[in-house]
Structure 1
Amino acid sequence: MSRLVPLVSAADRKVLKEQRILDAARELLLRHGPRGFSMAEVAALAGVGKGTVYLYWESKEDLIADLYAKDALAMIEAVQAAVTGDANIITPHRFLPLMRRTVRQHPFVVAIQTQDTELLGWFKEHPGIRRIRSTIGPVPLLVKIIPILREHGLVRTDLSAGTQIYALLTMVEGMFHMDTNDPVVDPHQFGVEDPDVMLADVSRVLLEPSSPADSCAVGAAASAALAGFDQARAEFLSEILLASQNEEQDKAKRETRFWASLHE
């Protein structure tokens, strides 16, 4: 008796094809940088025609912006998962090292933050990437988290929130640059063996009150932070949906032209 082979819907095939193209573009981008590959090479690696790639993305720049969007979205989801699993991670001396480790796992986010000209730094003014950086990038997340932690007593209040945010962003931006393949300063020359430990110690001094918050305050802060992250993610996804609706209209026009060109 023959086994039934499950059918793959047209919508599923489309998603799988888009993912193959994105995977191919990611591999080429990490290997060669944004100027080192063409849409034709993406198509060849993905096993589709060049015209097919242009049906989904109008330009290589738009394709790269989508790769950054997926990297940024994966970053915030990883942070959310960690805080959901352990509310104590929301305390500054644990949260900031978590952010550093999570960002490091997403190379396109790192590249934009450090303005890595070999990968994506020159690309940071692209409208899509600017939109992402303003909603779910590391900077807006940190700007959002400090007032929440102050409200629940996890951050000292003898300094203004603005001063703390600016100092924190300066420190974290510096850490991103220190983590690059060509660091500005080698931490080992100062006896820093584990940057996460150093970041945790500095976070305690810079941000945390002398008396630690109780477990109820920590839990409330974690819940409020997760709600803030959900809001940022929802805002980002709504903008992406609006943009994709416009792109679908453009894509339909491109598809019509594509099929018409085959019969000329």
Structure 2
Amino acid sequence: MSHPNRERADRILDAAGELLLRMGYRKVAIDDIARAVGIGKGTVYLHWRNKELLFQALMMRESADLTDEILSAVKADPAMILPHRMISASFRTTHRRPLVMAMLRGNAEMFGSMGDLALRKQQDELRAQFEDTMLRHGLVRTDVPNLSFAINATTVGFYFGGTLTDEFDGIPLEARADALAHVIRTAFEPAGEPDPEAVAEVAAELGAALEELVAGYRNGIYAHDPTRAPG
């Protein structure tokens, strides 16, 4: 059964997202959000005690939805767990979510303070687990120095490399995603076809870890739910 306070929280987040896209993070005030939902400012503060926490909740909701999308793809085809497929799928999905792109691109100062340390710790542990599991099952190369850093830096380059110049504006999203998949595949994965059994084991193990991450996000969204705890 959905709870009215949950529904109100979601309406607040929907309005915050629309305003973020229209005005940018710095310009959006709690007043604007309350007005858009048709409630008093005090009611917004019942859910989140400041703007930063509200936008963190919005980011968590987007991240949970995005991760759920990747999870369904892995369930339908375990080979989606391979780094080049998962990273390029995530790239496509992220670019189709204007809110996530806005938060990644224009709001680094908010992104840098994505407060919830427990969640950040969970994300770091998940990254380490991914690398460890992939290495253990032979799905990534063992001769790449600082593997995590290298994969991360490469991926981030695909998100931001095109923003420094307009030279690449004409390259469609699909073509960018394909280029990213190719680079990850050739730079970080062993040559030849991966062992289907290893792929299935990794998909099961990492799928479960991603489900836990989503549960953490979903809890975090409504952490200040007025029905659960005061303030």
TM-score w.r.t. length of structure 2: 0.82
2:134 aligned partner: 149
Read off the aligned partner of 1:44 and give its amino acid letter: R
CA distance change for structure 1 residues 65 and 247 in 2, over 3 Å: closer, same or farther? farther
Contact kept in structure 2, 1:155 and 1:209, CA below 8 Å: yes
Deviation of 1:213 (Å):
1.7
Q: Who wins on radius of gyration, i.e. which is larger?
A: 1
Q: Please identify, of 143-152 and 201-210, the stretch whose mean Cα deviation from structure 2 is larger.
A: 143-152
Q: Give, in whole Å, the separation in 1 of the partners of 2:19 and 2:113.
A: 19
Residue type of the alignment partner of 1:32: M
Instruction: Map Cα deviations across residues 93-129 of structure 1 (whole Å, 9 max, x no partner).
Output: 3122112112223445445544x2xxx2111343535
Shift in Å, 1:51: 2.2
Compared CA separation, residues 147 and 185, structure 1 to 2 (3 A): farther
Do residues 61 (structure 1) and 42 (structure 2) align?
A: no
Residue matched to 1:6: none
Matched, 1:42 2:33: yes
Structure 1 pair 214–103 and aligned structure 2 pair: CA distance change class (3 A): same
Task: Name which of 182, 191, 200 aligns with 2:181.
Answer: 200
Measure the CA separation in 1 of the matches of 2:134 and 2:78: 12
- Give 1:83 deviation, angstroms: 0.8
2:205 to 224, 244, 247: 224
- Note if contact 2:81-2:199 (Cα within 8 Å) is conserved in structure 1: yes
Distance in 1 (alpha carbons) for counterparts of 2:9 and 2:226: 18
* Structure 1: gaps of 5 or more residues: 1-8, 252-264
Structure 1 match to 2:157: 174
The residue that corresponds to 1:215 in the other structure is 196
Paired residues of 1:124 and 1:130 also in contact (CA < 8 A): no
Provide the secondary structure at the position in 1 that maps to 2:44.
Answer: helix
Quick one: which of 52, 59, 70 aligns to 2:61?
A: 70
Deviation for aligned residue 1:219 = 1.0
CA spacing shift, 1:246–1:46, aligned 2, 3 Å: closer
The higher relative CO (CA closer than 8 Å, separation ≥ 6) is in 2
Structure-2 change in CA distance of 1:109 and 1:134 (3 Å)? farther
**Structure 2 unpaired stretches of 5+:** none
Look up the SS of the partner of 2:141 in the other structure.
coil
Q: 1:237 to 1:70 in 2, by over 3 A?
A: closer
Q: Distance in 2 between matches of 1:140 and 1:104?
A: 25
Kindly tell me the number of residue pairs found equivalent between the two proteins: 230
| Corresponding residue of 1:124 | 111
- Structure 1 residue 227, shift from structure 2 partner: 2.1
Q: 1:97 corresponds to which letter in structure 2?
A: S
**Percent identical residues:** 28
